[in-house]
């Protein structure tokens, strides 16, 4: 049978979809990539948070799934809302890539080596808040565009530094000269960072069976814990939220935080629980943060 995979047209999106498609082809299946232009691709000059957040990168692909124009969609899990449209599900989570962020500079070094007032580019409210929490003197500025465009802007001197996901660079085979990996203690990753989610119609058993062969147990446990954390918080696109789960033997351990936009208030927590109940770990962690005052930050974000 031939499976039609909906994908955005960016080089990174195609690379991610091709990675999944090639794994299925190796199992004897035929896969066709169908390019779909999303709202996030069209709205290149605006802040995503003002028009629905990262969900704009998946909306049209989900519509194509529901209309049966494609059989599956491959997404960066960090771009996916905590709640999926009725009739759709995440059938597979391939093995996770490195979830950490990287600091790209023209001169080398880490966060402490940046000069006072350095211009740092990022499209992420989470990264902005955590950078300011660590270095309130920095000038953190928004940036849009694909990976190649962003790297070119850094090379041209428009910024002193840039923060990106290491997984994206790795999937594109890019190795920038001055690339400093940021520890999860410095910048806790976004929920789902480094994980791909393969979305299909929940009632399409043929596709569920085919795609399910790609599922990685560790990635699934971590993904379910992190998405349950996000869902329990009820966080919107205007609030910096971070969460990283790790499978450790028979347990799932997870760190999470909620931050104010300016990074002055950061509420952190940690939870652990059995690996066969990963969602309970994420929900417990979210409950802990809410009990510490995260609700006030989330409500403020919703009003902004």
Find the catalytic residue in 22, 45, 50, 79.
Answer: 79
> Annotated catalytic, 79?
yes
**How far, in Å, CA of 94 to CA of 99, rounded?**
13
**Cα 3 to the chain's mean position, in Å?**
25
Cα distances from 34 to residues 3, 83, 101, 208, 222, in angstroms, run 10, 24, 29, 19, 29
b (16+ CB within 10 A) / e for 239-274: bbbbbbbbbeeeebbbbbbbbbbebebbbbbebbbe
Residue 190 contacts residue 242 (beta carbons within 8 Å): yes
Residues near 296 by beta carbon (within 8 Å), at least 6 away in sequence: none
**How far, in Å, CA of 162 to CA of 89, rounded?**
34
Q: Name the residues annotated as catalytic.
A: 79
């Amino acid at each position: 049978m031939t499976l039609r995979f909906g994908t955005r047209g960016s080089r990174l999106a195609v690379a991610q979809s091709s990675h999944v498609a090639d794994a299925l082809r190796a199992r004897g299946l035929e896969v066709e990539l169908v390019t779909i232009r999303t709202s996030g691709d069209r709205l290149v000059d605006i802040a995503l948070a003002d028009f629905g957040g990262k969900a704009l990168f998946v909306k049209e692909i989900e519509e194509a799934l529901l209309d049966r124009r494609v059989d599956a969609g491959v997404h960066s899990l960090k771009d996916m809302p905590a709640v999926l449209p009725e009739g759709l599900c995440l059938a597979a989570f391939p093995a996770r890539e490195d979830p950490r962020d990287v600091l790209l500079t023209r001169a080398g070094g880490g966060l402490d080596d940046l000069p006072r007032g350095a211009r740092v580019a990022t499209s992420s409210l989470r990264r902005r808040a955590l950078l300011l929490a660590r270095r309130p003197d920095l000038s953190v500025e928004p940036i849009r565009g694909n990976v190649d465009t962003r790297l070119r802007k850094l090379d041209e001197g428009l910024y002193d530094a840039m923060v990106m996901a290491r997984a994206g660079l790795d999937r594109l085979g890019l190795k920038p000269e001055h690339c400093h990996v940021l520890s999860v203690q410095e910048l806790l990753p976004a929920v789902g960072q480094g994980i791909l989610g393969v979305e299909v119609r929940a009632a399409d058993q043929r596709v569920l069976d085919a795609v399910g062969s790609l599922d990685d147990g560790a990635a699934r446990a971590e993904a379910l814990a992190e998405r349950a954390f996000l869902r329990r918080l009820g966080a919107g696109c205007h609030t910096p939220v971070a969460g990283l789960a790790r499978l450790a033997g028979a347990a799932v351990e997870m760190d999470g935080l909620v931050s104010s936009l300016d990074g002055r208030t950061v509420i952190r927590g940690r939870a652990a629980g059995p690996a066969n109940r990963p969602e309970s770990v994420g929900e417990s962690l979210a409950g802990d943060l809410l009990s510490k005052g995260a609700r006030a930050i989330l409500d403020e974000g919703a009003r902004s």
